[in-house]
Amino acid sequence: MHPDVGHLGIFVSGRVAAKEHDSLVNSLDLIDTLPPGLFEMVIDEVVTESRDGLRCETYRMHFEERTLDAIRAYDDGREDEKPFQTVARFSEINEGLYSTFLAPWVKAFANTGVAGLTRVMNPQRLRYTMLSDANPCMAGLKATANLVRENRVEAPADNQWREAERFAIESAERMIEHSTQYRDLTIEQLFKAIWTNPLIQALAGEAATHADSRKPATSRRRALEQIRDLKLRTIAAREHQGTFTDAILRVVYAAIKASGSVDASAFTAAREIWMKHPRFHELDRDTFITQAKEAALMVAFDEQQALEALPQLLPSKKDREQAIALIRRIIEVYPDVASEVSDVLARVEKIVGVERATTTA
């Protein structure tokens, strides 16, 4: 969680967005190709000082692997979610009543004219229409606005009307903030008072021993597990198939899995290295993302098998030497290469049978 921005750092303030815009944009491709799992986007502020004594603020972004426990740590449990089950049940009941008794009448009276009138009279649309040229009463406003604009004279800072305006704005701002807080608190308390009431929960059937909310979601879980197993079997069947590109991506994702984090700037630099390689030159973005996702799934599912299949993906000695040389160049981009990443590289060299001194770019 970013301490200065909104939920999970998705919605950022203008100040943060202005300084971190480049980092966010440059990370879009990285986000598309992250391996399966949960990652936190961490933004670190880096302050450097030039020879002239000027301070320069930049931002470095990296993604760290997380678990669901990291999200649960921000919550106080799931007890407060139970009222929403009651709300969902009443919503289903209301939808059934509407579909049975009201929907036929609505369909009978619905036509193009009524639909157009409903759109025009919508309060959200009407408030703009009343202040537009469509309202005859606003005919003189445009001429008056132009007259005021042409004869506008800025009032001095100590003008009493200007000070009164500033005071009124600040008072209105405080009133809106306080009323918003009071409104939110009132709605929350009213919601809890209604939907946590035992009578309401009993009417919704949530208190019954046979209620769906009390049953384990075995059927849905079983269906999801079957889909997962089918997808994994399909991926496993292709472990010994692939190209030079697939081999490189498997090693990259094995290194990411070992380190547990991905640096955005290092990823950008590494991408520049491998995209300039002749084997990657003709690879378009969509194909690259598709291959990257499949390689990430293979490594996540069975890393050992994904790496053991590298000799089939790199049949010639030249392919293996070029692959190892390219992987080393990519790993060198990372300023602090973890020992786990070095171990992955050593494993790959042993699997493909390439010694460090024999590799060629």
User: Domain span at residue 332?
Assistant: 221-358
- pLDDT of 3 reads 53
- pLDDT of 24 reads 61
Per the domain annotation, does 213 fall within a domain? Answer: no
Taking alpha carbons only, the member of 266, 260, 246, 245 closest to residue 27 is 266
pLDDT per residue as tens, the chain (361 positions) = 555 554 444 444 445 555 555 556 556 767 777 777 788 888 777 666 666 666 666 677 778 888 888 887 877 777 788 888 899 989 999 999 999 999 999 888 888 888 888 888 999 899 888 888 888 888 888 888 889 888 888 888 889 999 999 999 999 999 999 999 999 999 999 999 999 898 888 888 776 666 555 555 555 677 767 777 777 777 777 878 888 888 888 888 888 888 777 777 667 777 777 777 777 777 777 887 888 888 888 888 788 888 888 888 888 888 888 888 888 887 776 655 567 777 888 888 888 887 654 444 4
Q: Find tokens 């209604």 and name the residue.
A: 194
DSSP reduced 3-state for 208: coil
Among 72, 91, 123, give the residue marking a domain's end: 72
Per the domain annotation, does 151 fall within a domain? Answer: no
Per the domain annotation, does 210 fall within a domain? Answer: no
| Calpha distance 45→5 (Å, rounded) | 15
Per the domain annotation, does 62 fall within a domain? Answer: yes
Instruction: Determine contact, residues 129/120, Cβ cutoff 8 Å.
Output: yes
Among 72, 94, 127, give the residue marking a domain's end: 72
Per the domain annotation, does 263 fall within a domain? Answer: yes
Instruction: Determine contact, residues 32/289, Cβ cutoff 8 Å.
Output: yes
Per the domain annotation, does 339 fall within a domain? Answer: yes
- pLDDT of 358 reads 47
Per the domain annotation, does 302 fall within a domain? Answer: yes
- pLDDT of 7 reads 47
Q: Find tokens 């094995």 and name the residue.
A: 254
Query: CA torsion sign, 159 to 161 to 163 to 166?
Result: negative
| Calpha distance 248→345 (Å, rounded) | 11
Instruction: Determine contact, residues 351/310, Cβ cutoff 8 Å.
Output: yes
Among 50, 72, 94, give the residue marking a domain's end: 72
Per the domain annotation, does 212 fall within a domain? Answer: no
- Residue 85 in tokens: 């089950």
**Number of domains making up the chain:** 2
